[in-house]
Amino acid sequence: MTSEDIMDKINQVSPAIDAKKKLDDIRKKRLAQEEKQTREREIKRREDGKLAQESQQTLQDKQNRLHLEKIKQERKADEEYKKKVKEQIAKDRADQVAARKAEKQRFEESKRQEQNAIRSTGSASSEGYWDHSNLNIKQLDGCSLRHNFSSSNTLANVTEWIDRMRTDGDMPYKLFAQFPNRNFDIGDEQRTLLELKLCPSGTLIMKPIKNASTAYAEASSSSSTFGGGGWMNYLSSATDAIYNSVSQVGTSVANYLVTPTAAPEHGRRLGGNGTQQSSTHVNASASGSSNRNVNTFQDKKYDKSDADERQTYNGNSVNHE
């Protein structure tokens, strides 16, 4: 082939080559543009992802902060609650201690008051501060009279009441008490039952006066009416009674010294009748003289033994057995 043929062919082919080249250029441009767009989209996607991630991180951080703040608030509230509970417990303990102390003080105060009351009651009872006297009065026939007197009543008031209420007759008597044994005389008739220590209860025994003179009866009558009579009548009666009592004691001592002390012997033989009769006669005369006098030594001995045999006191009540 010649050169011309080659050139012809080249000329024939060159427009096709230019079109292909243009196509290649266009394709390259399009690819470059697509790559650019792709790159831009990737960049945008990354930027959007980064922004979303940042937003999410921000939101997470915000939520975390809120959660931490909530936890802090809860812890603070818990601590405050525990503090309040501890303060309340401490306050309750202090209140309990104060209540126990106050209760202990009240108990000690009440115990002290009870002890003072018991002490005052005991001292009052030991000193005899009573407003009544429950008396049991043993009459001559063994019967008893009971009455509740006021502690301000005198022994004379009791004697008047006995004279009105007695059921054993009108035999003269005198009063005495047991445990301890006490005989009441004329001077005691104007003393109160509280002064005579017959409160809150007591026992009086009526002891008979054998062949009593009228002087004591008159003295008793005047002393029983002492509240309405007067001092002169009372002193006059008391003086007469003391004088008669002294004279009777002197007579009784003289009779006692004259009276033989030998007692009759029982169980003698027939040969001793004379001595026995004379001794019996002497004793009969002695007993007659003793009956004619008041407050002789023999009468006192007999009355005391007789009273001890007839009355006993159980120590727990005002009853006699």
Confirm whether 251 is domain-assigned. Answer: yes
Query: Does the residue 242 lie in any domain?
Result: yes
CA 98 to mean position of chain CA atoms: 24
In this structure, the answer to whether residues 82 and 231 fall within a common structural domain is no
Alpha carbons 28 and 22: distance in angstroms, whole number: 10
User: What percent of the chain shows pLDDT beyond 90?
Assistant: 16
**235 confidence band (pLDDT: 50, 70, 90):** low
115-119, 146-150, 215-219, 270-274 — most confident range: 146-150
| 8 Å CB contact between 207 and 174 | yes
Do residues 303 and 199 share a domain?
Answer: yes
Which pLDDT belongs to residue 318?
52
Tokens of 40: 């831009």
User: For residue 77, what pLDDT is reported?
Assistant: 93
Residues 214 and 235 in one domain: yes
Which range marks the domain in which residue 196 is found?
A: 134-258+295-310
Same domain, residue pair 161 and 237: yes
Residues 139 and 122 in one domain: no
Q: Is residue 245 part of a domain?
A: yes
Same domain, 114 and 226: no
- Quick one: 104 and 245 in the same domain? no
CATH code where residue 224 lies = 3.10.20.90
> Are residues 219 and 96 both part of a single domain?
no
How does the average pLDDT of the chain come out, rounded? 71
| Higher per-residue confidence, 71 vs 193 | 71
AA identity, residue 264? P
Number of domains in the chain: 2
Q: Determine, yes or no, domain membership for 68.
A: no
C-alpha to C-alpha distance for 8 and 245, rounded to whole angstroms: 207
Q: Say yes or no: 167 and 301 in one domain.
A: yes
Q: Mark whether 166 and 238 lie in a shared domain.
A: yes
308: Cα separation from own chain's centroid: 43
Last residue of a domain, one of 127, 158, 186: 127
Q: Residue 282: inside a domain, yes or no?
A: no
Query: Are residues 113 and 153 located together in one domain of the fold?
Result: no
Is 24 a domain residue?
no
Give CA–CA dist 71/253, Å, rounded.
120
Q: pLDDT tens for residues 284-320? A: 444 444 444 444 444 444 444 444 444 555 555 454 4
Cα 20 to the center of its chain, rounded Å? 133
> Across residues 34-54, what is the average pLDDT?
88
Whether 48 is covered by a domain: the verdict is: no
Question: What are the tens digits of pLDDT across the range 246-264?
Answer: 555 555 555 555 444 444 4
Q: Is residue 215 domain-resident?
A: yes
